[in-house]
């Protein structure tokens, strides 16, 4: 393959990954792989003397896709050149002194103060144009709203959510599938909210890393003095140490030790010249300023041998491969296993037992396989499920191969049934994780759904389980007892009937006036009389209630439950028969759940995707190029904003 063709391949991969990261807040390849491909592209560009116009080495970020107001930066916000070698930092610094600080992993923000007041906050955006988030910045947890300096001041910094707050928020959510994936994504979504009340609840913090030109102040040409002055105004500035070329390695080692317990998300360090004039005299390249450089943690790798692949059944029926290898030390801990994600990854690596493999920790945390040096490709795919012995099947969806268990009654799937039953929108049993359910199922304490309400008979055994004790047991019993009086719609939803989500359960319960016996005895035709309930859901309901085993489970459950008496909805059902889809950020409603509840209260139904049956798509950005907007326009479905919606329901 010639060099230019390879460059085009690399550019396509890197740009796709960059778009996913900056626009969609998700990672489709690891940092390790991205840096490896980026470095390969840079080397080829240097070798060939050719830089293509679409290369990520000369472009910063992507176009913005939100309804926030846009604003151009007074000067471009460039990326930093980077290295993973501390010796390169020493060579870069030369005989100068520098400041070595954390490179925080959040959302870059530019704050502007005039006459002591915060007047503007703009995100980095694509480096040239950002989004105005002033109202949200005013509710950051640690930001000065008023400062003593009365001139014009520009502070650049990083908005982040500390790990301690991130973990606490996830603990409150409970449902694993609904939890936030990482602090960076949560922070980005929080800062770019259209409702500042939501931002305030997320406890976003701001840490400054640079200060613009300041009139009538003397900093003796020292960046350190400038940062100290800003800190004196009340800003939390990014932690740094002063270094020279002799002690950079020592300082990097100290930061690396500290990151193990550091509460702020960080993906490396930044080294900047303390001599401001010297740094400015170096100018900049098309993409990088020359007064500072980023240091990214070099992913520590280790060579080892693959011992086996463990096939791990999940609650969804997927059977996920996990690599088990000879233990190695990485980032100060011993690791011996790493997820392989799916069969496609396994095949791409051409894995075989005994192969020599290279492993690393992505972001110094998650063990991953970097490469397979042997590539024997002799690994068999199991034909039987490890959990139940049922037949397995390889599924191929969009080029991604996965292994699934075909047994409807697989024990691994039973965990899914219980997990759904106790989830927040179902029976809402707080503090009962999937891990705990799995242990209780393995011990035989939970066989059928009604066993949940007799767990007190296994007090001693549960208290002896890992992660439990007297207090945990008492809390669990309290949560179970509190769940004994559900709303009927939540109970119907908890049963896990195919295609019956909470919205459909509410429609059904409303139609049958919350009479469970009437619902159990209803025919398919009676269900389809309900607007928005079709034959598929009707057949699923009838099939569920007429299956003898389900009927027995239901009868036993009813011995333990007392349903809340629902007040008949007195509001005019002006949205009856209407199907609505919600997308994008909200301003008048706190979140989508709040808007969804309002729609259901007025007789409407909320679904997750646009189809011919959709009556309205609610999106405050009517001109968005999102897939939902495109689909709505193709089908001539009205796209309305919140103001339009409020006007409709207030007629």
Non-local (6+) Cβ contacts of 510 within 8 A are: 569
The gap from C-alpha 24 to its chain's centroid, in whole angstroms, comes to 10
pTM: 0.48
Per-residue confidence (pLDDT) for residue 61, from 0 to 100: 46
Query: What pLDDT is attached to residue 261?
Result: 83
Q: Who contacts 367 (Cβ-Cβ below 8 Å, separation ≥6)?
A: 330, 335, 337, 338, 359, 360, 361
Q: What is the pLDDT of residue 18?
A: 75
- Angle (CA) 399 402 407, round 5°: 140
Beta bridge partners of 309: 323
| Amino acid 66: pLDDT | 46
Residue 495: its pLDDT value, please?
92
Alpha helices in 429-547 (DSSP H): 434-442, 459-463, 470-482, 488-494, 502-511, 516-521, 524-528, 535-546
What pLDDT does 176 receive?
44
Torsion over CA: 491, 494, 498, 504 (sign): positive
Q: What is the pLDDT of residue 167?
A: 80
What pLDDT sits at residue 572? Answer: 67
Q: What is the pLDDT of residue 376?
A: 92
pLDDT of residue 87: 87
**Confidence at residue 613, expressed as pLDDT on a 0 to 100 scale:** 82
pLDDT of amino acid 382 = 93
3-state secondary structure of 69: coil
In the structure encoding, which two tokens stand for residue 319, read together?
A: 């059977």
Q: What is the pLDDT of residues 571-596, one digit of tens each?
A: 667 888 788 999 888 878 877 888 88
User: For the stretch 301-326, what's the b/e string if a residue is b when 16 or more beta carbons lie within 10 angstroms of its beta carbon?
Assistant: ebebebeebebebbbebebbbebebe
pLDDT of residue 270: 95
Which sign, positive or negative, has the C-alpha torsion 505, 506, 510, 513? positive
Mean pLDDT by 10 residues, the chain (651 residues): 78 79 62 79 79 65 55 76 84 94 93 92 85 89 86 94 84 53 78 79 92 90 94 91 94 88 89 93 76 81 91 77 89 80 85 91 69 90 86 81 83 80 91 85 86 92 86 93 94 88 86 93 88 80 88 94 74 79 83 84 81 88 83 90 86 62
So which residues are the catalytic ones?
103
| Structural Rg of the chain based on CA atoms | 29
- What is the DSSP-derived secondary structure letter of residue 637? P
pLDDT, position 651: 62
Map tokens 């268990």 to a residue.
405
């Amino acid at each position: 393959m010639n060099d230019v063709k390879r460059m085009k391949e690399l550019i396509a991969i890197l740009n796709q990954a960059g778009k996913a990261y900056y626009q969609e807040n998700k990672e489709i390849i690891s940092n390790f792989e991205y840096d490896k491909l980026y470095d390969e592209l840079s080397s080829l560009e240097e070798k060939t003397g050719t830089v293509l116009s679409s290369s990520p080495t000369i472009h910063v970020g992507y176009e913005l896709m939100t309804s926030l107001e846009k604003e151009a930066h007074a000067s471009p916000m460039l990326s930093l050149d980077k290295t993973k070698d501390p010796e390169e930092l020493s060579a870069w610094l030369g005989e100068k002194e520098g400041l070595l600080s954390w490179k925080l992993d959040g959302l870059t923000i530019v704050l502007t103060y005039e006459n002591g007041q915060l007047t503007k906050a703009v995100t980095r955006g694509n480096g040239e144009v950002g989004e105005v988030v002033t109202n949200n910045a005013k509710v950051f947890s640690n930001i000065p709203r008023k400062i003593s300096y009365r001139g014009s001041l520009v502070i650049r910094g990083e908005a982040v959510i500390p790990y301690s707050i991130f973990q606490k928020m996830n603990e409150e959510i409970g449902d694993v599938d609904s939890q936030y994936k990482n602090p960076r994504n949560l922070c980005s979504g929080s800062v770019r909210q259209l409702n500042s009340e939501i931002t305030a609840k997320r406890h976003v913090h701001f840490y400054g890393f640079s200060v613009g030109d300041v009139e009538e102040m003397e900093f003796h040409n020292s960046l350190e003095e400038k940062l100290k002055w800003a800190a004196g105004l009340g800003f939390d500035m990014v932690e740094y140490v002063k270094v020279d070329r002799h002690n950079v390695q020592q300082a990097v080692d100290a930061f690396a030790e500290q990151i193990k317990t550091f509460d702020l998300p960080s993906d490396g360090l930044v080294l900047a010249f303390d001599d401001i004039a010297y740094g400015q005299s170096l100018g900049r390249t098309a993409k990088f300023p020359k007064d500072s450089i980023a240091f990214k943690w070099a992913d520590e790798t280790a060579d080892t041998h693959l011992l086996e692949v463990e096939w791990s059944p999940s609650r969804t029926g997927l059977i996920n491969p996990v690599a088990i290898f000879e233990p190695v030390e990485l980032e100060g801990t011993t690791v011996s296993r790493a997820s392989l994600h799916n069969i496609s990854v396994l095949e791409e690596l051409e894995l075989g037992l005994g192969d020599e493999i290279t492993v690393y920790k992505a972001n110094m945390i998650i063990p991953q396989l970097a490469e397979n040096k042997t590539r024997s490709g002799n690994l068999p795919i199991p034909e039987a499920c490890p959990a139940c012995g049922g037949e397995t099947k390889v599924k191929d969806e969009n080029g991604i191969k996965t292994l699934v268990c075909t047994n409807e009654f697989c024990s691994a799937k039973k965990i899914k049934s219980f997990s759904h039953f106790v989830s927040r929108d179902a029976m809402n049993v707080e503090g009962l994780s999937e891990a705990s359910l799995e242990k209780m199922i393995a011990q035989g304490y939970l066989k059928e759904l009604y066993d949940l309400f007799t767990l007190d008979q296994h007090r001693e055994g549960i208290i002896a389980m890992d992660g439990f004790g007297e207090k945990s047991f008492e809390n669990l019993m309290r949560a179970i007892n509190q769940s004994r009086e559900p709303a009927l719609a939540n109970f119907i939803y908890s049963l896990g009937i195919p295609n019956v989500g909470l919205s459909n359960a509410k429609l059904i319960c409303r139609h049958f006036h919350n009479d469970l016996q009437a619902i159990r005895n209803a025919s398919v035709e009676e269900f389809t009389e309900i607007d928005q309930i079709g034959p598929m859901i009707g057949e699923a309901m009838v099939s569920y209630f007429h299956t003898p085993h389900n009927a027995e489970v239901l009868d036993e459950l009813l011995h333990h439950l007392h349903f809340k008496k629902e007040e008949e909805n007195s509001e005019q059902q002006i949205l009856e028969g209407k199907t609505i889809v919600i997308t994008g950020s909200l301003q008048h409603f706190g979140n989508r759940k709040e808007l969804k509840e309002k729609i259901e209260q007025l007789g409407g139904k909320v679904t997750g995707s646009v189809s011919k049956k959709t009556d309205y798509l609610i999106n405050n950005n009517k001109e968005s190029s999102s897939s939902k907007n495109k689909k709505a326009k193709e089908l001539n479905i009205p796209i309305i904003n919140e103001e339009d919606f409020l006007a409709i329901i207030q007629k």
